[in-house]
Amino acid sequence: MEFATFADRAAAIDAEPADLEIVAHVRDLLENANDDLEIVARFVQGRVFPAWRSRTLDIGPTTCYEAIARAAGTNVSATDVEDRLAEIGEIGEVAAGYDFGGQQGLGAFTEGGASDPLTVREVFETLSDLAAADGSGSHDTKVDLLFGLFNRCESAEARYLARLVLSEMRIGVGEGAVRDAISEAFDVPGERVERALQVSNDYGQVARVARDDGLEGLDAMDLEVGRPVQAMLAQAGTVTDALEEWDEAAVEWKYDGARIQLHYDPENGADVATTRVFSRNMEDVTDALPEVVEFAEATLTEPTILDGEVVAVDDDGAPLPFQEVLKRFRRKHDVAKAREDIEVRPVFFDCLHADGDDLLEEPLTTRHDRLEALLADDQTQDPETVDGLSLCWRTDDPERIESIDAEALEARHEGIMLKDPESTYSPGRRGKHWRKRKPDVETLDCLITGAEWGEGRRATFLGTFELSVRDGDTLETVGKVATGITDEKLDDLTDLLEPYIVAEDGQDVDLEPEIVLEVGYEEIQTSPTYSSGYALRFPRFQGVRHDKDPADADSLERLERLRA
């Protein structure tokens, strides 16, 4: 296909506000792309390479400005191009505004001297050469290659070439439009195209398979170990919602690290790495994370794709804040040195593929069982002792969920994830099946009016704090907070509260209302249990308000207002 044909159609799409018409244009493009179908299916979305390939063009804007300037003529400099861009605001418009001479340009002449129109294949091949250019002198090579393309462009071609090169296509063709266009052009159902796209992340390949092999071909497309899949994403949500919608929730700790997808294939030949690690954006981050590679090679034996998180840990293996993992995550240089400073560890919570079986369509519980079997030394091993395994508890008991949350916080993780145990794995989707527990919106500052001595390991700590709000001169109880408090904090709180003990009865302690606690919660409900007539649902400890006097604690009126 001539690049001019593509550019004209891109311009028509650009001017088209209606989704249906856009799909029709894309369909026409695909139907007429012949041997260039894979390229056109990507170009129309502004992609040069398949989404899963880590390979990127890596063209800085300056390289592109230099190439445009050179093609525009001797009296135009890269700075002029930049100035115009600052004025106009869009690189396509800037490029389209120069007269490159189109087919008459210097580079347009083939060896025989005839001028040939630029084709989408030539653009693709030149951009591939450009992406491969590396090392010293690569900047000049890139400018030369790009110049060669711009020099052969008419105005419309230049507009979309510039946008393609700088990943700013923006003609309004989303993933849904390409899916529908493939479906219409080659007469295959949209949802089967969608599935093939999910497993392959390559619109070009899916379009070609749909055209050449039809539905059978599409359905035969599977996950491939080594080719990343988009990660399933989570929404914010509450325990209340999760338990209302599902019979049970699968509860997991939420690790404060960076998402990783591990691909392990022991059958890879000597020239292909056995282990590859990808980021949430499907970028290859293997070289930055040797610990993950070592883990895979020591633990796994069959071809596998696992989903998980990499977490920075201290010398005792306790998690460090997210900022620390970032110092390691995409590092390209001095990895060994960085590793000495900050160690990382993988934890896996899902299994997408194991030993030839694609598991995307299996329920979470089956996938998690498979994961556990892969990571455990043998089938009798206690899951709690399995290295690299994120535990998954199934329960419909809110109290149990609270205690898992407290354990997570105590172990210095971010909180909990709530997942639908029956849900399949939907790549790239931010659905309701995975919920990160919503951070509390508004907190309340309550007085501590009572507490209980703990048991066992916590016998010397006060815990389970009774919370009250002010109602004029009296205090009314609204709940008890026992979760989200580490031993260290309980120790501090005990020291803080002991001087205010006014009465003790067994484990129960009455306290003078002196200390103000900030508490989060999911909801305020009416309740006969507490004297205020309300109860905080899932109250969580946020901190002591040392800056507040008892008189500054929240009132019943505020509680009622928050509820309204």
Beta strands in 79-227 (DSSP E): none
Q: What are the backbone angles phi and psi of residue 65, rounded to the nearest 5°?
A: -65, -40
Stretch that binds ligand AMP, among 250-258, 367-375, 481-489, 512-520 (CB under 6 A): 250-258
* CB-based contact 150:71 (threshold 8 Å): yes
489 in a labelled binding site: no
**Closer to ligand AMP at the Cβ: 48 or 234?**
234
Minimum distance of ligand AMP from residue 157's CB (angstroms) = 40
Stretch that binds ligand AMP, among 39-47, 81-89, 98-106, 252-260 (CB under 6 A): 252-260
Is 367 one of the binding residues for ligand AMP (CB under 6 A)? no
**Closer to ligand AMP at the Cβ: 403 or 525?**
403
280 in a labelled binding site: yes
Is 420 one of the binding residues for ligand AMP (CB under 6 A)? no
For residue 122, what are the CA distances in angstroms to 74, 107, 125, 215? 25, 12, 5, 30
**Closer to ligand AMP at the Cβ: 259 or 412?**
259
152 in a labelled binding site: no
The residue number whose beta carbon is nearest to ligand AMP equals: 259
- Name every residue whose Cβ is closer than 8 Å to that of residue 461 and which is 6 or more positions away in sequence: 453, 454, 487, 490, 491, 493, 494
Report CA 41 to chain centroid distance, whole Å. 25
CB neighbours of residue 185 within 10 Å = 22
Is 401 one of the binding residues for ligand AMP (CB under 6 A)? no
Cross-strand pairs, 346: 310
Residue whose structure tokens are 């896996």: 348
Report CA 524 to chain centroid distance, whole Å. 32
**Helix (H/G/I), strand (E/B), else coil: 123:** helix
Is 436 one of the binding residues for ligand AMP (CB under 6 A)? yes
Figure out which of the listed residues 38, 202, 252, 420 binds ligand AMP, where binding follows CB under 6 A: 252
* CB-based contact 59:290 (threshold 8 Å): no
Give me the catalytic one of 142, 254, 419, 480.
254
- Name every residue whose Cβ is closer than 8 Å to that of residue 46 and which is 6 or more positions away in sequence: 163, 164, 167, 168, 169, 170, 171, 173
Q: Is 337 a catalytic residue?
A: no
Figure out which of the listed residues 108, 234, 250, 251 binds ligand AMP, where binding follows CB under 6 A: 234
339 in a labelled binding site: no
Figure out which of the listed residues 275, 390, 423, 468 binds ligand AMP, where binding follows CB under 6 A: 390
Is 305 one of the binding residues for ligand AMP (CB under 6 A)? no
* CB-based contact 462:454 (threshold 8 Å): yes
Residue whose structure tokens are 């031993």: 487
Binding site for ligand AMP (CB under 6 A): 233-234, 252, 254-255, 259, 280, 309, 349, 390, 417, 436
Could you list the residues known to form a binding site for ATP, using ranges. Answer: 252, 259, 280, 309, 349, 430, 436
Residues belonging to the active site: 254
